[in-house]
Chain A
Amino acid sequence: MMQTENLFPASEFCRYYNIEITFLDLLKDYGLVEVVTVEERNYLDVTELQEVEKIIRLHYDLNINLEGIDVINQLLQKLEETQDELVMLKNKLRKYEN
Chain B
Amino acid sequence: MEFVDYYKILGIDKSATTEDVRKTYRKLARKYHPDLNPNDKEAHKKFQQINEANEVLSDPAKRKKYDQYGKDWQHADQFEQARNQQSQRGARAGGASYSGGFDEEGFSDFFASMFGEGGRRQTKFRGNDYQAELHLNLKDAFTTHQQTLTVNNKNIRITIPAGVENGQKIKLKGHGGPGVNGGPAGDLFITFIIADDPVFKRDGKNLLSDVKIDLYIAVLGGDVTIDTLHGKLKLKVPPETQNGTTVRLKGKGFPVYKKENEYGDLFVSYTILVPKNLTTKEKELFHELSKLRS
Contact = CB atoms under 8 A, between A and B. Distances in A.
B36 to A, nearest CB: 7
A66 B184 CA distance: 23
Contacts of B202: 91, 95
B168 A87 contact: yes
B165 A87 contact: yes
B204 A62 contact: no
B44 to A, nearest CB: 13
A94 B167 CA distance: 12
Given A53-B126, A95-B203, A62 B33 contact: yes
Interface residues of A, number: 22
B268 interface: no
A98 interface: yes
A58 to B, nearest CB: 6
B72 interface: no
B174 to A, nearest CB: 10
A76 interface: yes
Contacts of B36: 58, 72, 76
Contacts of A54: 35
11 contacts: A54-B35, A57-B33, A57-B35, A61-B29, A61-B33, A62-B30, A79-B38, A87-B165, A87-B166, A88-B204, A95-B203
Interface of B: 26, 29-30, 33, 35-36, 38, 124, 126, 165-168, 173, 184, 196, 201-204, 208
